[in-house]
Copies of this chain bind each other. A is one copy, B any other.
């Protein structure tokens, strides 16, 4: 592990999330590397949806410490560890968000500016059960995306790629 990595984060929430990640790595006989720590810390400090590319951008000062391939590899580990959820919002790249400490929610997406807003509708869980039962499925989960326009709220710009 190189020296940059000991810039450890003292935010208690992030510390806790890092511990969970480390547990997972150990359990799976995966190694605790400086890249994994750096990416995980960065991700845990983001409180919005992000993409592989926007993560890369956040890490641009560490360009010499981590490659794009490694970022993709770490993202897939974190999804497997259920620390991250992967989303498709109708673009041709994936969005991620970290899960821990976030109540289950769905998303409403502005097709003008790409803004993503979370919402919680408790009755969806019950509806999901009902549909699954009726169709004879066991349930893993659901994704509900509502598409619309946020109507030029401040910050609403044309939806650029990989934002």
Binding site for B on A (CB under 8 A): 88, 90, 108, 110-111, 117, 119, 121, 123-124, 127-128, 131-132, 134-151, 153
How many Å lie between the Cα of A158 and that of B12 in the bound state? 43
Copies in the complex: 2
Contact status A110-B88, CB under 8 Å = no
A88: B residues at CB distance < 8 A: 88, 90
Contact status A141-B147, CB under 8 Å = yes
Contact status A119-B148, CB under 8 Å = no
Beyond A119-B135, A141-B148, 19 additional contacts (C-beta under 8 Å) are A108-B135, A108-B137, A110-B137, A119-B134, A121-B131, A123-B123, A124-B127, A131-B146, A132-B148, A136-B153, A138-B148, A138-B149, A139-B146, A140-B147, A142-B144, A142-B147, A143-B144, A143-B145, A144-B144
**25 A-B residue pairings within 8 Å (CB atoms):** A88-B88, A88-B90, A108-B131, A108-B135, A108-B137, A117-B137, A124-B127, A131-B146, A132-B146, A135-B150, A136-B150, A136-B151, A137-B149, A137-B150, A139-B146, A139-B147, A139-B148, A140-B148, A141-B146, A141-B147, A141-B148, A142-B146, A143-B143, A143-B145, A144-B144
